[in-house]
Amino acid sequence: MTIENIEMPKLGESVTEGTIEKWLVKPGDTVNKYDPLAEVNTDKVTAEIPSSFAGTIKEIIVQEGETVEVGVVVCTIETEGDAEATVEAVPAKEEPANEMPAAGSQKPAAPIRREAGAARYSPAVMRLAQENNIDLSLVQGSGNEGRITRKDIQRIIDSGEIPTAEAVQIEQSPKNEEQKAEAPVQSAPASKPAEPVSIPTAAGDIEIPITGVRRAIATNMLRSKHEAPHAWTMIEVDVTNLVQYRDSLKSEFKQKEGFNLTYFAFFVKAVSQALKEFPMMNSMWAGDKIIQKKDINISIAVATEDALYVPVIKHADEKTIKGIGRDINDLASKVRSGKLKSDEMQGGTFTVNNTGSFGSIQSMGIINYPQAAILQVESIVKRPVVMNGNMIAVRDMVNLCLSLDHRVLDGLVAGRFLARVKEILENISSDNTSVY
């Protein structure tokens, strides 16, 4: 028999860790190659870990609810092979500097060679610490063998108290030699994990457990608000002609195509067209540089009863209104039926959110990190509008609310971009617009 390791897979370009939401197998179960072993959540997607081997589940190493780095062994499988092979016989692999064992994992699947006193941090920990000026030598880790995890750093950031060298220097000063002899030097108090918030409960209160998806949403939103300096702006658009055009087509379109022609498809098309003309809006902050993305991939928000997913319309600028409408319909259906694939949530460069679908008329969206902007399309409402200087008419009006990362974008380019989206939408009509 041979013992094989199953590792936390990399489920996206920027994904560095995942949370085991639910194990689908238990020790002793027999599995075939490609059988699903566990459900895993990341800040990008919910997916399944497939088995790379056929055999018997030997040991579950990472428990449900635990978050571990990509590449960490989550379970082992006993396969048919050399009868004398054992776990110890698996060749020991020196741990790379950019890997870190799981926080709270039971034990590594194979011996790890480590230099005495050598500190090893994952890329996610290093990046987060550097961006927030956190000295990792002052942080007390909660992971395996005292390793510092991304959660440790995030707790420090959330607490607002960054550990400094002064606290350690005070403890090491001559005045405190006697105290040092009595107790070991401790890290700065801020390095301790933040305690959970204690909220009094009363009869009838309901406690709702945090799911992996909700935790991933919270983490990504907090990171966006913490790292990206948000700015907001809004523009009012007269979409009377668009409404009349769409309403004249919707019945015939539904009968012919099999899905509804929504207003949202027109807005996504207008945004993708404007992004081609203002490519800086299609950019991302990368620390020491700004990356202007070539492809225009529009992320759209789709809500379920307990979570929010952000699937992506790839190459939206190359698609017709009909093509975009079909993608919106298909992606929303997959989200609500639980059939959305991981690659259908990756690669987004700009987010358009249909907040108007539940009656909102003004909102401030949180940017979908690491994108540089998100556009909220509000509800279309009839309002009296002054026309031609001295006439009042009832028109179909909509607010477009833009949140932007002020590190990447300034008001000038954002204003011009919104003005172009407004111009495109206000000129949609049966005379100059085709949905095909």
For residue 176, the model assigns a pLDDT of 46
Give the domain-ending residue among 63, 79, 95.
79
For residue 113, the model assigns a pLDDT of 37
SS (H, E, C) 200-243: CCCCCCCCCCCCHHHHHHHHHHHHHHHHCCEEEEEEEEECHHHH
410 is a catalytic site residue: yes
Residues 381 and 310 both lie in one domain = yes
Q: Give whichever of 200-209, 216-225, 427-436 has the largest mean pLDDT.
A: 427-436
pLDDT digits (tens, 9 = 90+) for 317-334: 999 999 999 999 999 999
In this prediction, residues 130-135 reach a mean pLDDT of 76
Sequence-distant (6+) residues with CB within 8 A of 283 are 290, 291, 292, 293, 372, 408, 409
Residues 44 and 170 both lie in one domain = no
For residue 295, the model assigns a pLDDT of 97
Pairing of β 312-313 and β 283-285: unpaired
**Among the ranges given (7-16, 24-33, 112-121, 277-286), the one the predictor scored with the smallest mean pLDDT:** 112-121
* 374 belongs to a structural domain: yes
* 104 belongs to a structural domain: no
Residue 32 has pLDDT above 80, yes or no: yes
For residue 162, the model assigns a pLDDT of 73
Residues 150 and 279 both lie in one domain = no
As given in the structure block, the two tokens for residue 269 are: 């098309």
Residues 277 and 181 both lie in one domain = no
Q: In total, how many domains does the chain have? A: 3
For residue 123, the model assigns a pLDDT of 55
Other CB atoms within 10 Å distance of the CB of residue 414:
23
* 203 belongs to a structural domain: no
Residue 267 has pLDDT above 70, yes or no: yes
* 103 belongs to a structural domain: no
For residue 145, the model assigns a pLDDT of 60
Residues 139 and 49 both lie in one domain = no
User: Choosing from 226, 247, 406, 431, which is the catalytic residue?
Assistant: 406
Give the domain-ending residue among 46, 79, 112.
79
Residues 73 and 134 both lie in one domain = no
* 145 belongs to a structural domain: yes
* Domain range enclosing 31: 2-79
- Amino acid present at 311: P
Helix axes 263-277, 240-257, angle to 10 degrees: 110
Residues 311 and 408 both lie in one domain = yes
Residue 277 has pLDDT above 60, yes or no: yes
User: Choosing from 158, 295, 343, 410, which is the catalytic residue?
Assistant: 410
406 is a catalytic site residue: yes
- Note whether 64 and 97 are within 8 A (CB): no
Residues 249 and 358 both lie in one domain = yes
* 251 belongs to a structural domain: yes
Residues 189 and 314 both lie in one domain = no
Residue 178 has pLDDT above 60, yes or no: no
Residue 164 has pLDDT above 60, yes or no: no
Residues 51 and 154 both lie in one domain = no
Sequence-distant (6+) residues with CB within 8 A of 334 are 311, 340, 341, 344
CA 120 to chain centre: 25
Domain of residue 27, CATH code: 2.40.50.100
pLDDT band, residue 17 (cuts 50/70/90): confident
Residues 379 and 250 both lie in one domain = yes
Residues 262 and 401 both lie in one domain = yes
* 271 belongs to a structural domain: yes
Percent of the chain clearing pLDDT 90 (strictly above): 47
For residue 92, the model assigns a pLDDT of 33
Give the domain-ending residue among 135, 169, 195.
195
Residue in the structure block whose two tokens are 């054992």: 86
Residue 236 has pLDDT above 80, yes or no: yes
Domain of residue 349, CATH code: 3.30.559.10
**Among the ranges given (10-19, 275-284, 350-359), the one the predictor scored with the smallest mean pLDDT:** 10-19
